[in-house]
């Protein structure tokens, strides 16, 4: 249920795009992200930092897109978000008790313990992955038709992230002491 909720703004964006156009989809995405924050507050009494960051960026870049009638702003939003995540992953190797990769993937391993050096390597891998995804997004936005970019943003970026996460979990599981 939670995963469906987290992906609902992307689904709203895709449906709205195919019903009308990118500007309608941008407005729908802005509303859907604010609704997701409200839903987070009602359900958990807190707002996840990634939801908040994404919402702020969507509201900023979405507003610029709608006011200036320029799709490039909303097309840059995923790249900016992904590059901020990459920086956060790099920074987590130097600040905090555990790197972000450990924070996100440790629950999938249960009680298995992984050495810190492996978590650090994995965190660098995530940072590189997000840098490359951000670059891919902007290349598609600049060089492909709008419809291709919309599908890449919703389906391509999401699928790539899921595949990378599953691969990382499998890689970690193979290195966990038995």
Tens of pLDDT, residue by residue over 155-173, are 999 999 999 988 988 888 7
Q: How far, in Å, are 16, 28, 73, 145 from residue 64 at the CA level? A: 18, 15, 6, 20
Q: Rounded to an integer, what distance in angstroms lies between the CA atom of residue 36 and that of residue 62?
A: 16
Which distant-in-sequence residues (6+ apart) come within 8 Å of 4 by Cβ? none
Give the SS3 label for residue 164: helix
Which residue, among 23, 136, 31, 20, has the nearest Cα to 78 in the 3D structure? 136
Which residue, among 36, 41, 72, has the nearest Cα to 56 in the 3D structure? 36
Secondary structure letter of residue 20 according to DSSP: S
pLDDT at 69: 97
pLDDT at 30: 98
pLDDT at 178: 64
Q: Rounded to an integer, what distance in angstroms lies between the CA atom of residue 140 and that of residue 145?
A: 8
Residue keyed to tokens 């450990």 = 102
Spans in the chain with pLDDT lower than 50: none
Give the SS3 label for residue 114: coil
pLDDT at 1: 63
Mean pLDDT, the chain, as a whole number? 92
Q: Rounded to an integer, what distance in angstroms lies between the CA atom of residue 178 and that of residue 174?
A: 9
pTM score, whole prediction: 0.91
pLDDT at 103: 87
């Amino acid at each position: 249920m939670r995963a469906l909720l987290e992906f609902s703004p992307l689904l709203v964006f895709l449906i709205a795009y195919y019903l009308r156009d990118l500007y309608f989809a941008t407005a729908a995405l802005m509303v859907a992200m604010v609704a997701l924050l409200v839903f987070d507050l009602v359900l958990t009494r807190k707002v996840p930092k990634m939801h908040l960051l994404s919402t702020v960026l969507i509201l900023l870049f979405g507003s610029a897109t709608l006011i200036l009638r320029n799709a490039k702003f909303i097309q840059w939003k995923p790249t900016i978000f992904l590059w901020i995540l990459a920086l956060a992953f790099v920074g987590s190797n130097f600040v905090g008790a555990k790197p972000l990769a450990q924070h996100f993937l440790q629950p999938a391993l249960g009680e298995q313990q992984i050495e810190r050096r492996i978590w650090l390597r994995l965190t660098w891998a995530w940072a590189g992955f997000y840098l490359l995804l951000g670059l891919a997004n902007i290349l598609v936005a600049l060089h492909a038709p709008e419809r291709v970019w919309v599908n890449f943003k919703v389906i391509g970026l999401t699928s790539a992230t899921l595949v990378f996460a599953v691969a990382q979990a499998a890689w970690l599981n193979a290195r966990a002491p038995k």
